Structure 1
């Protein structure tokens, strides 16, 4: 299990800014660390699915930490990095999802409501792997009438399938598996396979910004 608590280029928890960020959580119990860091990442970064990094540097936790918003994978990487720094085994899982609410902009750009890759955090706690998704901050959930997700390690906390009006919100379409480290090349392959024209158009850029 040591490989899931190790620092890497992407999970760079030895960086001074990450160590400073973790100070308030170091004396807590593991369960409290799971809960409070999840909430901090969930609500501390505005979820933005319209910007996707296409360079390795973008996906370093210390780089993401300096931003005010993040893609689901960005937020997952920061949470995994924090958990690993506190000796809680964690890894990244990738999937394809579909978004059923407020998709006009994405569909105009992508021609689909499908998003890939989507990032999920997996944590080994109390003898089992459990999943959580810190993507959707409280304000976004309120806007779309979706219950916020909480997480304490006892059970999975994955994307909300329906909102409070019983309208379909999100659904999982495909599972790309779990990874010990951030699989940058695999992520780019998934992005290119799903959006080939957009990928080719943005070669040489540092990120894809769907608002441009």
Structure 2
């Protein structure tokens, strides 16, 4: 088990936590949370994982449009370079960030039904089922917990969704209802958990399921979720 967990702390081409960009992101988040000199052990790991969760959730805008799904674009450092992304990008960044502080991580993919998509996004996606929704799974205090640092607080407010919190001890998944009690998201199918980004599976799966969402081979069409939410008010 120890060897398996050690492997899940290691950098990869996608989870490139040894890169200067990811290191700087992690150092800044821990410093902001006052955890630069946090003691080793389960409590310190949990505190760091929670701080990094909020750094990814609110520090990287959630955006489906103009997203880069190239190999570079789906590396943690590439996500930071581009400065935005959707669930796939933000989960990769979080999985890399926690590995940087010694916390094992994996990536989780599943299909979900999202009842609160904007009309334009629903049209581009081809309905309300989104393929290969992603989150991270982290090993803290002897157990695996799910973490979804995806929708940032500002976007949640615009769409009337309660932001997802994370305490490092229980799963953080999409709430099934929004802040007004309306159904928001439900999981339909699990593709599995992976030690690294299964690039072809994920990217080909998204492109096959949602071809109209793409403006080019690896870039989604332009737009703004914030603008769509504002115009709907």
TM-score by length of 1: 0.90
Q: Is the 8 A contact 1:79 1:121 kept in 2?
A: yes
TM-score by length of 2: 0.83
Of 80, 89, 102, the residue aligned with 1:87 is 102
SS of 2:204 mapped into structure 1: helix
Q: How does 1:1-212 map to 2 (within 5 A)?
A: 1-24=5-28, 25=30, 26-28=36-38, 29-196=44-211, 202-203=216-217, 206-209=218-221, 211=223
Unpaired segments ≥5 residues, structure 2: 31-35, 39-43, 225-233
CA distance in 2, matches of 1:18, 1:95: 26
Q: Which has the higher strand share?
A: 1
SS of 2:73 mapped into structure 1: helix
CA distance in 2, matches of 1:209, 1:143: 21
CA distance in 2, matches of 1:64, 1:33: 20
Q: Is the 8 A contact 1:34 1:151 kept in 2?
A: no
The alignment's C-alpha RMSD in Å is: 1.9
What is the CA deviation profile of residues 139-172 of structure 1, one whole-angstrom value per residue up to 9, with x for unaligned ones?
1111222221111221000112101211111111
Residues 1:193 and 1:39: Cα distance change in structure 2 (over 3 Å): same
What is the CA deviation profile of residues 61-99 of structure 1, one whole-angstrom value per residue up to 9, with x for unaligned ones?
111112332111111111111100111000101111121
SS of 1:131 mapped into structure 2: strand
Q: Is the 8 A contact 2:125 2:212 kept in 1?
A: no
Aligned length: 209
Could you tell me how far 1:198 is from its partner in structure 2? 5.8
CA distance in 2, matches of 1:55, 1:181: 15
SS of 2:144 mapped into structure 1: strand
Residues 1:104 and 1:42: Cα distance change in structure 2 (over 3 Å): same
